[in-house]
Each structure stands twice: as structure tokens, then as C-alpha cells.
Amino acid sequence: MAQNEKWVFIVNPTAGGGRGRVILPELEKQVSDRSLAAKIVLTEKHGHATEISRKYLEQGYSHIIAVGGDGTMNEVASPLIGHLEVTTGLISAGTGNDFIQILGFPDRFTEAHWDIFFNQVVIAMDAGQVNGMHFLNGMGLGFDAQVAAENYVEPGKVAAGNGKGKYIWHILKTLLFYRECQVKIESRGNTQETDCFINTISIGRRFAGSFLLTPEAIANDGLLDVCMIKKLNLLQRLKILTMVPKGTHIKDEKVDYYQTEKLTIDFGEKVPFHVDGELFFDTTFEVSLLPSVLNIIYNPGGDHFFNPG
């Protein structure tokens, strides 16, 4: 480690049902064993990781690292967009852990992965932008956003009932009763109006733990991957959703899969959408690609989603 490196680890202790707190002793040991000049700071509320990240950016820290899930990574990275003098990274401790797949690391680090992480192989990755917010993995509209809206629990509150069982119930209910909205999409110089079941726009490939909605996405190719699934009847929905875990759905005639640098989506009414797993509502969406704006640690020997160059 260079002598002028200053590290801060921003830990979400509630990530992964408490996994963020469980990982703390191992993180402290790793920092101590490597004699890092490092601080470990715990978040206390939704949005706190962004405040902490901005504070240490202003103080000139060289490494600002997230410990948690996709939402924590998004919060930590947002102030760092465009600051290529800073290195970021993720020690995964979330539930779905979709973003970590981009970097070639597993959901849970072994000793070998800690060594790879602190060896600091860094690459500049792209980010997406929608209505003033950033996304590192992706954003979604339609069926999956409606499931998120049905299952939404305000930050700081505890969900009633069994979390996993409740989530599965919302998937089944939405699968049966979701009604596609009419949407206007402008992209690549074309405008189309359609009924859309799912519209995913991404930097990464994986969503909801096992769904490869954008299986050809590369996180530093200067392009957004768009997967638009058109209106489906129930049998078609079941067919498509069985194909998504392997990414073979993009060959189906009901799927429009393409790459672009920007697009505009207009629903004409407020609808739910998610950004790196966080739920929001809006009517019109201005989506664009920000190329090579984040320096991040990745595993060059892992199954990552980068063009190494």
C-alpha cells in the first residue's frame, strides 16, 4: 500500500438482514493485518452513506469503499462520479448482491478475495443517469418495478409478516394482474409507442438475484443496454420469466434488446421505477450514459463484466 493512501470503509450495518454488522470483525482484522490508514464508519439512516462519502471526498481520502448491498454502493458512489482521483469498491454484504457480479467478486469474500481486493486492480466504469439520479447496475420500469412498489417498506420501518414469502406473493399477484401501460420511447432517432411489460436499462447484467435481464451488458463499453419486453398474456409471461435467468429471452420475438447512449421514456402518468433497487415514482424519464466516470476495484481473474482494454 502506498504511504499516502487514506481509506474509509462506509458500512451499512443493516444490509443483508444484519450481514453488514456481522462482517465488521473480519473487516477490522483485514485493515489491521495490512496496516492501513483507514477509518470504518457505520451508516445510521437511509441516505447517510452519501453524506459520509461526500465528507471524505472533500477531506481528500484516496479510497472510499462501500460495505453493504447495491443501495449502499449507489449511495457511496454517487458523490464520486467524475472524481477519477478517488478509488471506490464494494465489499458485498447485501441480500440480492447484483452489483458485485459486475466486479467479478462473489457475494461473500474468502481470504483469497480479500487479497485480490487489496491488491487494487482498478478500472474506470460507466454509470447511468436518470432524472438527476445515478445508477451503477440498472433501472427498471414495468412488472419488476410494480413488484417493488407492492413490497415497499419505508426506510426505518420493519416489514410485516415473512419477508421472502411476502415478496413471492407480490410476484405471483403482479404476474396475474399487472396491466401494461402505454408508453412512448424515443431512442436512436426513432419514436415508438407500445405497451411495455418490462423495460430495463442497465450497466450490469443481473437483477433480483438471478435474473439476467440484460445478459450482454459490459460496464465500460460506453453504452446502455436496453431490454424492452412487449405486452404479454399470462402464458407468455410465464414463458419469458423462465427464460430470463439464463438470458435466453432476448431471442424471443416479444423482446426488443438494443444498446444506446440515451433515451427518453414517457408514460403520461406517474409510475413506479427502481434505481439500483431503490423505489421511486415519476412520469417521464430522461436516461443517459456517463462513460468511464468511476474508478473501481475489480477482480481481473473473476467472471467480471468489463472489457479490460
Per the CB < 8 A criterion, the answer to whether 45 and 67 are in contact is no
What is the residue type of 47? G
The cell for 283 is 412520469
**b/e per residue, 250-265, with b = 16+ CB within 10 A?**
bebeebbbebbeebeb
Q: Average pLDDT of 137-153?
A: 83
pLDDT, tens digit, 9 for 90 and up, residues 232-278: 999 999 999 899 999 999 999 999 999 999 999 999 999 999 999 88
Whose CA is closest to 297, among 9, 87, 7?
A: 87
pLDDT, tens digit, 9 for 90 and up, residues 82-141: 999 999 999 999 887 899 999 999 999 999 999 999 999 999 999 999 999 999 999 999
- Sequence-distant (6+) residues with CB within 8 A of 181 are 142, 195, 196, 267, 269, 271
SS3 (DSSP) at 67: strand
Whose CA is closest to 198, among 159, 130, 252, 126?
A: 252
DSSP annotation of 299 = -
pTM of the shown model: 0.90
Mean pLDDT of the chain: 91
The cell for 243 is 427464460
Distance CA 203, CA 206 (A): 10
pLDDT, tens digit, 9 for 90 and up, residues 17-30: 899 999 999 999 99
- DSSP codes joined into one string, 225-238: EEEEEE---HHHHH
Find the range with the poorest average confidence among 43-57, 155-169, 286-300.
155-169
What is the residue type of 59? Q
Distance CA 149, CA 226 (A): 21
Rounded to a whole number of angstroms, the CA Rg of the chain reads: 19
Phi, psi angles (nearest 5°) of residue 93: -145, 25
**How confident is the model at residue 1, as a pLDDT?**
61
Per the CB < 8 A criterion, the answer to whether 147 and 129 are in contact is no
pLDDT, tens digit, 9 for 90 and up, residues 168-184: 777 788 888 888 989 99
Per the model's pLDDT, the better-predicted residue between 180 and 8 turns out to be 8
Q: Which domains does the chain have, with CATH numbers?
A: 7-120 (3.40.50.10330), 133-291 (2.60.200.40)
- Per the DSSP assignment, residues forming a β-bridge with 9 are 40, 65
